Structures are given as structure tokens and as C-alpha cells.
């Protein structure tokens, strides 16, 4: 009990000294103590409260008198306070009345000072805004007059210098929002101008190219004239008298060339005169300022590549006229002249690598196009004009730094095609000449006509007799052919010019093309001429004579080529003309055709032969068809007097051999079943006429009876039957000294069987005379015996074979 009392005192002290919010834990300790501690605590608490009440009462009693005194003093002061209040209220009223005017003036001063401060602020802000507005106004004006590059610079100043100072204002925000739109507008406008520029240069490309090609051609003409002028001056010391005349003429030509060039220089416009390049410069600067230079470069190059493909696409009818080619080349030259100009006046928009790549692509396409379209050209004049255009085209682009070697390589391909077109053209000319020729010697009435002929053809007259009138051995086609060959050489030379080749190469090309003309075209025309059915023996003889003279003229053609190319024939690499072999082949073909036509003519006469193979006796004279044939041969061989001896002899021998063979075949014809001895006699008379013709030497130059040997087979066979010398034939068979050495047993057997059948038919008809029947029977027995022996010889020959 005594212990719990101090604990309650401590709890009461904590309650008195602790904040009421923290009393909970202290009170909880009361309940956590011993049983009935709560009651004891409450008792202790009541005792504490009574003590405090007593202390308060003591304190109130101590201060009560002072409180009463204070209240009394306060009541005294109350009346004075009421008076003071009235006085203060009156004073305040009078003061308020007096300060109303001051307040009004003060408020006016404050308002003015606020206005003044606002005006000062506005002025300061306007001083910041005015440059912005002025620059924006300047920007609008620049946009209006299309000074877009300056407008972009103005925008840059606005963004970096002016707008940041006044960015808090709404109008500045509007400006800031509008600037990207203006930039896009400028880009669109400049791109539109660029598209117009691209369209413009596409339209003017052909004119630009035409101008550039004209200038290149004038420069080349000027250089050529100047070179000739210098060459004349160089040779002045060696040929003073003649060179003065040449020099004066050349100086006049050079002066005239200068004047013409001056006139052309005044008229010719450059690419800058024809096309305004400012849009591309402006657009390039604009995109560079906007940081989109690479985008612009890619777009420009892409569009130009598309235009290049359009330019390189030819019209389908381009090959029909030279104007089509000229327009095609002009557009290409104009395209690359523009690119070269852009390359040199801008930095980075077009590079040399880009132009070289574009040119290589274009060059491949150009070569393919020219190969295709030139193959359609059949006119050599058009091909020549195409070559001249290609040379000018190549020289023009070479002057701008583009490699053109492949174009000159292409010209060599076109040169082969040009030669083909020339060969076709000259083939027609040769055919016309041959068709118009009368194939008779050229008549010359006087010396003047003779000089005209030899001026056209290098004829060497071996005859000392210069009397007129006379006839030259060749026909009119010879000088015409010679002239046309020279014209072909000139035409071929025209293509070889300006190909940047040496004189040796040109000389070689001329000789090769001339060889083609002689060995292919002229040879083909001669071969076709010889094979034509209307060409007779007389014409063939004249053709042989003509080819002989043309062959002799080949050396003059070689001299002619050497003169126009200034290349000596002694040069190691100089090719030779193959005209000798050409004309020899034609001559051999003509000779062969002569032999063929002679044989055909002989066959025609043989076909009209009408033998009566059953005739009892001959007519006593040769057959009419054979006499006509011999007369024809005589007249024909008289024409052969102008032919080389061997040709005439060969023709005569061939004709006699063919005649002999044809007569032999007539006797041995399988359709001919029987022959009478009268028919044999008639046939013998015909062979005798053939032998007489052979012995008359229709063509001079045969030795002895060489020509008669053509009929030796027939002669021995007919003699065997006419003499009926079978015993001698059979006895001497196989011996070199045999009288009937050329008679073949099979031939004799065939003819004997036919004669045997003829005799049997005759004996049946002539049965009136009994003795004749006995003789016929004896003869038939003899024939049968001979037939058996001949068959044994034939069988022996076959077994031996």
C-alpha cells in the first residue's frame, strides 16, 4: 500500500506535465497495476483536485481587490473614450473630405505613369519586332519576285537571328510555323522550274546538237584548209613557178574559208544562247541551302537518264532518210553537250565518272541501233552520208572529251556493208552494160574517135597501121567496165576518208574492195552472162576477147589506186589485184560454153538427120543435114580467128570428136534394130565429108592429120563393113599393126547383128531369084560364124576385165 502511493503521485505528475494526446499510455499503467489500484488512483486524483481548487481560491482572493479597482478605472475612462471617438470621427471626416482631390490627382498620376511605362515597353518591344516584320516583308517580296535563293537566306536570318528575340509573341509563332511551308513552296517551285528546264533542253537538244556538230565540222574544214595551205608553202621552194599559182589559189580559198567561218560564227548560237540554265543553278543552290543537295542530284541524274533513254530510242523509219539519222545524232550530241556544260559550271551535280558511265551506256545503245538500222540501207549514197554523219558525230563528242574509238570501229563494220551495197549497185551496172553491148568490135572512124576510146581505156594497139577507119578488137563494154571499176574505187575511197587511217591502210582497203568487185561481182556477172541462152558463139568469142583486154588493164588499175593513195606498189604490204584470175576463170568458162554450144548445135543437126536404114543403095552424095552442119562449122571457125590459137584448136577438135561420137552413137542406137548395106554406104559418104572437112584445116595450127584422127574409129569400123574384111580383122585382132585397131569387138558385134537382121529381111523380100537366095544363105552363114567369133572375143574381154 505504501509502495503504490508514490507510484500514483508519479502518474499524476506525468498527467499534469504531459500533453493530453500522450496520456493514454500513462492511464493504461494504472489499470496494469495491482488489483483495486484504480480505486486508489481515483481517490488520489480527487485529493489532488481538491488541493488545486484550494490554491485557486486562495489566488482569487488575493487578486480580487485589484480587479475591482481596475474595473472602476475602466468605467471612468469610458466617458473620455466616447469623446475621443467623436473627435476622431470628425477629424477623419474632415481629413477624408480634404484628401479626395489628392487621391484623384494621385490616381491620375499613377495611371499616366502606368501608360508611360506601357508605352516604353511597347516601344522597346516594337524595336525588337520591327526588324522581324521588315525581314518577313522582305521575304514575301523576294517570294513575289521569285528570288528564292535570297528568300532562303532571309529565312535563315529570321530563324537564327530575329525570331528568337521575339519568340514569345503569337505572330512570331505564326511566322515560325509558316517558314517550313515557305521552304516547301520554294522547293516545289524550284522543282517545277527544273522540270520546265528539263523539258526545254529535251526540246532543244536536237538544235544544240546540230549547232555543236556544225561548229565541229567548220573547225575540221578550217583545219584541213589550213593544212593544205601549209603544204603548199612547204613545197614552194621546190616548185617555185607552179607553187605561186597554187599558193595564190590556196590563199584565196583560205581567205574565203575564214570569211565563211566568220559569217557562221555570227549566226551560230551556243547552248547557253538556246537554253536558260539559271533554273538548274537556282534549284541546285536552293536544295544545297536546304540540305537536300544529294536528293536533288539523285533526282536530276535519274531524270536525265530517262531522257537519255528517250533520246537513244530511234524512230522506226530512221534508216529511210539521212534526215532521220541527222536528227538522231543531233539529239544525242545536244544531250551530252548540256551534260558537259553542267559538269563544268556546277560542282558535284554532274561528275566525270557519271558522264563517262552515261556515255558508255549510250555508246553501246548507239552502236546497237546503228548496226540494226544501217543493215536496212541498200543505197550506197545513204550509207556514205551516214558515215559522214557518224564521223562528224564522233569528232564533235571527241571535242568534248568523250571517247569515240568504238564508233570508228563501227565504221569499219559499216564500211563492209557499204562495200556490199556498192557491189550490189555495180552488179546492176555491169548487167546493164552487158545487156546493152552488141558484142562486136568497136568501130573507129578517125583518130579523134580513137583518142576518145583510149582516153577511157588503156588500149595498147600492137598494129603499126594507124589508118582509119578501123576496128578495135574489144567491144564497147570493155571501156565501160573499166570506167565503172574506177568509179567504184572512187566511191570506195569516199568512205575511207576521214576515218583517221593511214594512207597504207586506205590503200589496202581500196585494193581489198576492188578485189571483191572483180572476183565476186564482175566474175559473177560474167559467169551469168556466159550462161545466158541468148548468148551465141559469136558473143562468147567476143567475151573471151574482152576478158583478155580487161585482164591486161588490171595493172593500170593498180597504178590508179597507187596514184590516188600515194602508196608505191613496191611497198611490202601492198595487196595485189586478183583480176587476172577473175578474167582467166571467165575466159575458161566462156571457152567451156563455146565447146558446149558447139556440141549442142551439132546435136541439133544430128537430130534432124533422116536416114533410111533399109535403103538398098546410097544416094551417091552426102546427106543434106551433114553438109549444112559442115558449112555451119566452117563459118563458125572463121569467127574464131581472133581467139587464141589453142582455144580455136580445142574448140575444133572438141566439135569433131563430138560429131564422131554422135555419129557412132547413131549407128549403135539400141532402138535401131537393122541396117542395110545401102545405109552403111550412105553413112560412109557422110563420114567422108567429115574427114574432108577435118583435112581442110578449118582452124590453123593442127599438125598433119591430127584433126582427122577424131573420125578414125568411125573410118575403121565403116571400112571393115564396106570391104567385109572380117578375116583380116579376126586374124590381126589384138596386134598393134592391125588395120582395124580402133574397132572394138562389141561395137563390131552390135553393128554386124543389125546388118545381119537387115540382110535377112531383104532376102525374104527378094525370094524371086534362087541364086540370090543361095548367095544370101552363104553370106548369112559367114555372118553367123563371125558373130560367134566376135562374141567369144567380147566374152574374153569381159572375163579379162
Give residue-wise pLDDT tens across range 652-677.
999 999 999 999 999 999 999 899 98
**DSSP H helix total and E strand total for the chain:** 27, 2
State the pLDDT at residue 241: 34
Residue 258 banded pLDDT, cuts 50, 70, 90: very low
pLDDT > 60? residue 128: yes
Question: Which is nearest to 552 in space by CA: 638, 481, 464?
Answer: 481
State the pLDDT at residue 662: 94
Kindly state the average pLDDT of the residues 405-424. 88
Q: How many residues does this entry show for the chain?
A: 801
State the pLDDT at residue 586: 86
**DSSP secondary-structure letter at 163?**
G
Kindly state the average pLDDT of the residues 608-614. 89
Looking at mean pLDDT, say which of 12-26, 63-77, 139-153, 361-375 comes out highest. Answer: 361-375
> Cβ(144)–Cβ(150) under 8 Å?
no
Residue 261 banded pLDDT, cuts 50, 70, 90: very low
Residue 236 banded pLDDT, cuts 50, 70, 90: very low
Question: How many of the other CB atoms lie within 10 Å of CB of 787?
Answer: 16
Question: Which is nearest to 287 in space by CA: 351, 336, 358, 346?
Answer: 346
State the pLDDT at residue 665: 93
State the pLDDT at residue 490: 92
The three-state (H, E, C) secondary structure of 21-75, written as one string: HHHHHHHHHHHCCCCCHHHHHHHHHHHHHHHHHHHHHHHHHHHHHHHHHHHHHHH
pLDDT tens digits, one per residue of 366-381: 999 988 888 888 888 8
State the pLDDT at residue 688: 93
pLDDT tens digits, one per residue of 265-307: 445 566 667 777 888 888 888 888 878 888 888 888 888 889 8
Residue 238 banded pLDDT, cuts 50, 70, 90: very low
The grid coordinates of residue 423 equal: 557491189
The grid coordinates of residue 14 equal: 506525468
Amino acid at each position: 500500500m505504501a509502495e503504490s502511493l508514490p507510484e500514483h503521485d508519479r502518474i499524476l505528475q506525468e498527467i499534469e506535465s504531459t500533453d493530453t494526446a500522450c496520456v493514454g499510455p500513462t492511464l493504461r499503467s494504472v489499470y496494469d497495476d495491482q488489483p483495486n489500484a484504480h480505486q486508489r488512483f481515483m481517490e488520489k486524483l480527487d485529493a489532488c483536485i481538491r488541493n488545486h481548487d484550494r490554491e485557486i481560491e486562495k489566488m482569487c482572493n488575493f487578486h480580487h481587490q485589484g480587479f475591482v479597482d481596475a474595473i472602476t478605472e475602466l468605467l471612468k475612462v469610458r466617458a473620455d473614450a466616447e469623446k475621443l471617438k467623436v473627435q476622431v470621427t470628425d477629424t477623419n471626416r474632415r481629413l477624408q473630405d480634404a484628401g479626395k482631390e489628392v487621391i484623384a490627382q494621385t490616381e491620375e498620376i499613377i495611371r499616366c505613369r502606368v501608360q508611360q511605362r506601357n508605352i516604353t515597353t511597347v516601344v522597346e518591344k516594337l524595336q525588337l519586332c520591327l526588324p522581324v516584320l521588315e525581314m518577313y516583308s522582305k521575304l514575301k517580296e523576294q517570294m513575289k519576285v521569285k528570288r528564292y535563293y535570297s528568300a532562303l537566306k532571309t529565312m535563315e536570318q529570321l530563324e537564327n537571328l530575329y525570331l528568337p528575340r521575339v519568340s514569345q509573341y503569337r505572330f512570331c509563332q505564326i511566322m515560325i510555323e509558316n517558314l517550313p511551308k515557305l521552304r516547301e513552296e520554294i522547293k516545289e517551285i524550284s522543282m517545277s522550274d527544273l522540270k520546265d528546264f528539263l523539258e526545254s533542253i529535251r526540246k532543244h537538244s536536237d538544235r544544240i546538237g546540230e549547232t555543236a556538230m556544225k561548229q565541229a565540222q567548220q573547225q575540221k574544214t578550217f583545219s584541213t584548209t589550213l593544212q593544205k595551205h601549209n603544204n603548199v608553202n612547204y613545197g614552194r621552194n621546190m616548185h617555185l613557178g607552179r607553187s605561186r599559182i597554187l599558193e595564190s589559189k590556196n590563199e584565196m580559198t583560205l581567205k574565203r574559208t575564214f570569211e565563211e567561218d566568220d559569217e557562221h560564227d555570227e549566226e551560230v548560237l551556243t547552248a547557253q544562247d538556246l537554253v536558260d540554265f539559271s533554273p538548274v543553278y537556282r534549284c541546285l543552290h536552293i536544295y544545297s541551302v536546304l540540305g537536300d543537295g544529294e536528293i536533288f542530284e539523285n533526282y536530276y541524274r535519274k531524270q536525265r537518264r530517262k531522257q537519255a533513254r528517250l533520246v537513244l530510242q530511234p524512230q522506226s523509219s530512221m534508216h529511210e532518210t539521212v534526215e532521220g539519222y541527222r536528227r538522231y545524232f543531233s539529239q544525242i550530241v545536244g544531250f551530252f553537250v548540256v551534260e558537259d556544260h553542267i559538269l563544268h559550271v556546277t560542282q558535284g551535280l554532274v561528275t566525270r565518272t557519271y558522264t563517262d558511265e552515261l556515255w558508255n551506256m549510250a555508246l553501246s545503245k548507239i552502236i546497237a541501233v546503228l548496226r540494226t538500222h544501217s543493215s536496212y540501207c541498200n543505197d550506197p549514197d545513204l550509207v556514205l552520208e551516214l558515215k559522214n554523219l557518224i564521223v562528224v558525230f564522233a569528232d564533235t563528242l571527241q571535242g568534248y572529251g568523250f571517247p569515240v574509238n568504238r564508233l570508228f570501229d563501227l565504221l569499219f563494220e559499216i564500211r563492209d556493208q557499204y562495200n556490199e551495197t556498192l557491189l550490189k549497185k555495180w552488179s546492176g551496172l555491169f548487167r546493164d552494160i552487158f545487156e546493152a553491148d552488141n558484142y562486136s568490135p568497136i568501130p573507129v572512124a578517125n583518130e579523134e574517135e580513137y583518142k576518145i576510146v583510149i582516153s577511157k581505156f588503156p588500149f595498147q594497139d600492137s598494129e603499126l597501121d594507124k589508118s582509119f577507119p578501123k576496128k578495135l578488137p574489144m567491144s564497147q563494154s570493155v571501156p565501160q567496165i573499166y570506167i565503172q571499176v574506177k568509179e567504184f574505187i572512187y566511191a570506195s575511197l569516199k568512205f575511207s576518208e576521214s576515218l583517221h587511217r593511214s594512207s597504207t591502210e586506205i590503200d589496202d582497203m581500196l585494193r581489198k574492195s576492188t578485189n571483191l568487185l572483180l572476183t565476186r561481182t564482175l566474175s559473177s556477172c560474167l559467169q551469168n552472162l556466159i550462161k545466158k541462152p541468148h548468148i551465141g558463139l559469136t558473143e562468147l568469142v567476143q567475151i573471151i576477147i574482152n576478158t583478155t583486154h580487161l585482164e591486161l588493164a588490171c595493172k593500170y588499175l593498180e597504178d590508179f589506186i597507187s596514184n590516188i593513195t600515194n602508196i608505191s606498189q613496191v611497198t611490202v604490204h601492198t595487196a595485189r589485184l586478183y583480176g587476172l584470175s577473175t578474167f582467166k576463170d571467165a575466159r575458161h568458162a566462156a571457152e567451156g560454153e563455146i565447146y558446149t554450144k558447139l556440141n549442142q548445135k551439132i546435136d541439133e543437126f544430128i537430130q534432124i538427120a533422116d536416114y533410111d536404114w533399109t535403103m538398098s543403095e546410097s544416094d551417091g552424095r552426102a546427106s543434106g543435114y551433114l553438109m549444112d552442119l559442115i558449112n555451119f562449122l566452117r563459118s563458125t571457125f572463121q569467127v574464131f580467128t581472133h581467139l587464141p590459137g589453142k582455144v580455136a584448136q580445142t574448140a575444133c577438135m572438141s566439135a569433131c570428136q563430138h560429131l564422131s561420137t554422135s555419129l557412132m552413137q547413131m549407128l549403135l542406137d539400141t532402138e535401131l534394130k537393122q541396117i542395110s548395106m545401102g545405109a552403111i554406104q550412105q553413112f560412109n559418104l557422110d563420114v567422108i565429108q567429115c574427114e574432108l572437112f577435118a583435112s581442110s584445116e578449118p582452124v590453123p595450127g593442127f599438125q598433119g592429120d591430127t584433126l582427122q584422127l577424131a573420125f578414125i574409129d568411125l573410118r575403121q569400123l565403116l571400112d571393115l563393113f564396106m570391104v567385109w574384111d572380117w578375116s583380116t580383122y579376126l586374124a590381126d585382132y589384138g596386134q598393134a599393126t592391125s588395120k582395124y585397131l580402133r574397132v572394138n569387138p562389141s561395137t563390131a558385134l552390135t553393128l554386124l547383128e543389125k546388118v545381119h537382121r537387115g540382110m535377112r529381111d531383104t532376102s525374104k523380100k527378094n525370094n524371086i531369084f534362087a541364086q540370090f537366095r543361095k548367095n544370101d544363105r552363104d553370106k548369112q552363114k559367114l555372118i553367123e560364124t563371125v558373130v560367134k567369133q566376135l562374141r567369144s572375143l567380147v566374152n574374153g574381154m569381159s572375163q579379162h576385165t
